Amino acid sequence: MSRRHPREHRPHVAALPDCEDTGKMSFTCQRDAVRFIRYLRHRSKRGIVPLRAYRCPLCRYWHMTSQELRGPRHLHRAGHQPSAPPYKITLRQARELVDQLDRSRQLLTDVILSLTADHGAP
């Protein structure tokens, strides 16, 4: 029976602290580093390559993102809420939002004009 590391020691599941000297990801042992490299190779074959790593300012651990548009997924405490990543939209969605804002602004202007007309100007 093979002995497995606990969940928090698996490099692709646990948040990894950075090395104080180099700033690179650190591992508790060479086995964890090799497992992490194999994990990345497996994901790259499936087309789910982590695009970037970022350091969370709140917990001071490194995290990997699998898809940039989905935003970072924290791999530790469930209650931890980092600042939200920038929300990306298409040009068409941006135009639709601008149109909605224009319609809302026009509706608000019409309501204000009708209220002032009902009360009459002195």
Per-residue model confidence as pLDDT tens digits over 2-35: 455 444 444 454 445 666 655 566 666 666 667 7
**84 in any annotated domain:** no
**69 in any annotated domain:** yes
Assess whether 35 and 71 both reside in one domain: yes
Confidence band of 101 (pLDDT split at 50, 70, 90): confident
Assess whether 62 and 118 both reside in one domain: no
Mean pLDDT of the residues in the chain: 63
Domain count, the chain: 2
Assess whether 65 and 107 both reside in one domain: no
Q: Taking residues 85-102, report their average pLDDT.
A: 76
Assess whether 108 and 61 both reside in one domain: no
> Which structural domain, as residue segments, surrounds residue 104?
89-122
Confidence band of 69 (pLDDT split at 50, 70, 90): very low
- Which of 15-19, 35-39, 79-83, 108-112 has the weakest average pLDDT? 79-83
SS (H, E, C) 22-60: CCCECCCCHHHHHHHHHHHHHHHHCCCCCCEEEECCCCC
Assess whether 5 and 39 both reside in one domain: yes
**32 in any annotated domain:** yes
